[in-house]
Amino acid sequence: MRRCPTCGCDLSAIGAGGSCPECGAVEESAARPLVEMLRIAMPSVVTMTSYTVMQFIDAKMVAHIDPPSPIYIAAQGNGGVAAWLPISFMFGVLTVVNTYVSQNLGAGRAERGPAYGWTALWLSGAWGLILIPYGLVLPFMFRHLGHADDIVAIESSYGQILVFGAFLTVATRGLSNYFYGMHKAGVVMVAAIVGNVVNALANVVLIFGEAGLPYTGIGVLDAIGQAGRAVAGALGIGAMGVAGAAVGTIVGTAVELAIPLSVFLGHRMNARFATRGAMKPDRAAIRDVLKLGWPGGFMMFNEIICWALLLVILVPLAGKIGAAERLGVAVTSPEAVSAGKLANTAGWIALRYMHVSFMPAIGISIAVTAVVGKCMGMGRPDLAAKRAWLGLRLTLGYMGLCALGFVVFREPLVRFFAPADLDPAQIDELVRIGSLVMVAAAVFQLFDATAITFSGALRGAGDTIWPGVVTVMLSWAFIVGGGLLMIEVAPGLGSVGPWIAASVYIVMLGLVMLGRFLRGPWRRIELVKGVGETGLEATMESDAGG
């Protein structure tokens, strides 16, 4: 008997690929593995791309703050990393909401999913309260790291605003994982697009106030700038600078959370899955998420730490040391200090473009997690493996094109973010450093695609501990240890040295995740007990694609 994967009703009288007469769910057909993948991947990619576009808009707006200074982008990046460091832990934990929801969907138990959706919201609220003291000590932390007073004030205010709004940010991503697991990624996509539009409008109002965004020559931005100037003038809002970008992000995030939450609690979802009735904290669901999710949380938290050390400490330090050696001056000289700031800014600019490649790839990885999870819930690891390889082909194709673009267009890409009215010599140096980093990024793109895809596949199967531990070990060995080693043995490379070490890390991570997937211990994991005949099993038995 074929059963609907959503509500469990009998589909025997309906042709393969038809819709359930009770809930309208579309049965996935074995003959369309690519369609099945793209149905989730495309909205996920659009969602992740919209985040990347918003990051570009944020950085471009910040670069136009008057008076011009290269510290604005660096301060925004430093404050953002400081905020995302603790937030990222719960982000990583809640990724397994996708795993549990999709596996229950595959096992014909979709009504069990809302408990995990509510768990994401409860854990987000608790984490938001825990982070408040952390936000209060950010200024002391930046001063302890030796940052100049002019940048401490800016980066601290930006980071604090994001930390104090952490509940909204974490809850949005947590609830998104419920919809990914239900193979309803379109809800998340609509929310992300609307939220980012609100974010852009709020940014231009709050960053520049009544003065408005200066002319950029970019049609969309200039149109937003005119609208923002009118709103700010009508409300009498003054310019907040970089802090305004953080407030705009929180406003946009609140809107982004409201959309999926309204769908989750709406009449239709409640009628099918009793979403409102699952509001009470479910200890079993909380235990499941924490037990399976902590390695992912620790892995994400650790990676943020290592990349923060790279961008906030190692890259500026290497830039200062490299300039001191090249110019024959002291590391503490104004020339060396200026070179360190430029290296920091160049690194953040290059990272914006890396987001262009890996954020959509993460969107594909989310789809891989959801599809692999559903197949594992059906008791079909063979199908899960095929879907993972299909996801890898998609990711390799996209990130390969990005690698080519990074090499061919590296100079104009970096110059695009050069702060307005910066000294021409400084702009040239910024472009020189940033271009070298772009080449380093191009080298590891295909390995990054492999790591991202198979991490998502392993997560969908419930294999999280081993990948988490290995990622921590590799990141400290190569990003931090390798970065320090490059500064010591090749100081003449300047800030490019630590970036080379980071590239080696990603290459190694891709190879390790590939090896883990091929060895296949994930095939024996059973998160959803009592798996038997399910709604999709009968129609996918003859699968030969993917």
Instruction: Give the closest residue to 103 by CA, choosing from 190, 49, 180.
Output: 180
pLDDT at site 166 = 94
SS3 26: strand
CA dist 543 and 35 (Å) reads: 14
Mean pLDDT of the chain, nearest integer = 85
Q: How confident is the model at residue 533 (pLDDT cuts 50, 70, 90)?
A: very low
Instruction: Give the closest residue to 465 by CA, choosing from 259, 295, 258.
Output: 295
Q: Is-contact 165 178, C-beta < 8 A?
A: no
The contacts of residue 196 (CB under 8 Å, 6+ apart) are: 50, 51, 53, 54, 252, 256
Given the structure tokens 């001056």, which residue do they identify? Answer: 329
Q: Is-contact 13 24, C-beta < 8 A?
A: no
pLDDT > 70 fraction of the chain, expressed in percent and rounded = 88
Q: Is-contact 304 87, C-beta < 8 A?
A: no
Q: Is-contact 204 230, C-beta < 8 A?
A: no
- For the whole model, what pTM was predicted? 0.80
Residue type at 412 in one-letter notation = P
Given the structure tokens 């050069």, which residue do they identify? Answer: 418
pLDDT at site 530 = 44
pLDDT at site 61 = 79
Q: Is the pLDDT of residue 531 over 80?
A: no
pLDDT tens-digit map of 74-89:
788 888 888 888 998 9
- Can you tell me the mean pLDDT for 5-26? 49
CA dist 338 and 68 (Å) reads: 15
Task: Using alpha carbons, list the distances in angstroms from residue 209 to 60, 66, 233, 236, 419.
Answer: 16, 12, 7, 8, 19
Higher pLDDT, 493 or 5: 493
pLDDT at site 436 = 92
Q: Which of 100-109, 201-210, 404-413, 537-546 has the lowest mean pLDDT?
A: 537-546
Q: Which of 154-168, 207-221, 245-259 has the lowest mean pLDDT?
A: 207-221
pLDDT at site 378 = 87
Q: What is the CA 213 to chain-centroid distance, rounded?
A: 27
pLDDT at site 28 = 47
Residue 379: φ, ψ to 5°: 80, 30
SS3 72: helix
Q: How confident is the model at residue 52 (pLDDT cuts 50, 70, 90)?
A: low
Q: How confident is the model at residue 50 (pLDDT cuts 50, 70, 90)?
A: confident
Instruction: Give the closest residue to 535 by CA, choosing from 2, 111, 1.
Output: 2
Q: Torsion angle of alpha carbons 430, 431, 437, 442, nearest 10°?
A: 160
Q: How confident is the model at residue 226 (pLDDT cuts 50, 70, 90)?
A: confident
Structure tokens belonging to residue 408 = 């061919």
pLDDT at site 421 = 63
CA dist 324 and 337 (Å) reads: 9
Higher pLDDT, 53 or 150: 150
Q: Report CA torsion sign: 305, 306, 308, 312.
A: positive
CA dist 99 and 517 (Å) reads: 17
The contacts of residue 73 (CB under 8 Å, 6+ apart) are: 59, 62, 63, 345, 348, 349, 417, 419
- Can you tell me the mean pLDDT for 18-28? 48
pLDDT tens-digit map of 108-123:
888 999 999 999 999 9
Instruction: Give the closest residue to 502 by CA, choosing from 315, 322, 349, 359.
Output: 315
Domain assignments of the chain as residue spans, ordered by start: 33-525
pLDDT tens-digit map of 301-310:
998 889 888 9
CA dist 527 and 29 (Å) reads: 24
Q: Is the pLDDT of residue 134 over 90?
A: yes
Q: Is the pLDDT of residue 27 over 80?
A: no
**Helix/strand/coil (H/E/C) assignment for every residue in 186-251:** HHHHHHHHHHHHHHHHHHHHHHHHHHCCCCCCCHHHHHHHHHHHHHHHHHCCCCCCHHHHHHHHHH
Instruction: Report H helices in 409-443.
Output: 410-415, 424-443
CA dist 467 and 471 (Å) reads: 6
pLDDT at site 532 = 39
Q: Is-contact 34 56, C-beta < 8 A?
A: no
Q: How confident is the model at residue 340 (pLDDT cuts 50, 70, 90)?
A: confident
Higher pLDDT, 39 or 474: 474
Q: Which of 46-50, 68-72, 102-106, 528-532 has the lowest mean pLDDT?
A: 528-532
pLDDT > 90 fraction of the chain, expressed in percent and rounded = 49
Q: How confident is the model at residue 442 (pLDDT cuts 50, 70, 90)?
A: very high
Cis peptide before 419 (omega within 30 of 0): no
Higher pLDDT, 413 or 31: 413
pLDDT tens-digit map of 241-271:
888 889 999 999 999 999 999 999 999 999 9
Q: Which of 155-164, 259-268, 308-317 has the lowest mean pLDDT?
A: 308-317
User: Any bridge partners for residue 26, and if so which?
Assistant: 19
- Can you tell me the mean pLDDT for 49-64? 73
Neighbours of 56 (CB within 10 A): 17
Task: Using alpha carbons, list the distances in angstroms from residue 544 to 18, 184, 376, 540.
Answer: 20, 25, 17, 9
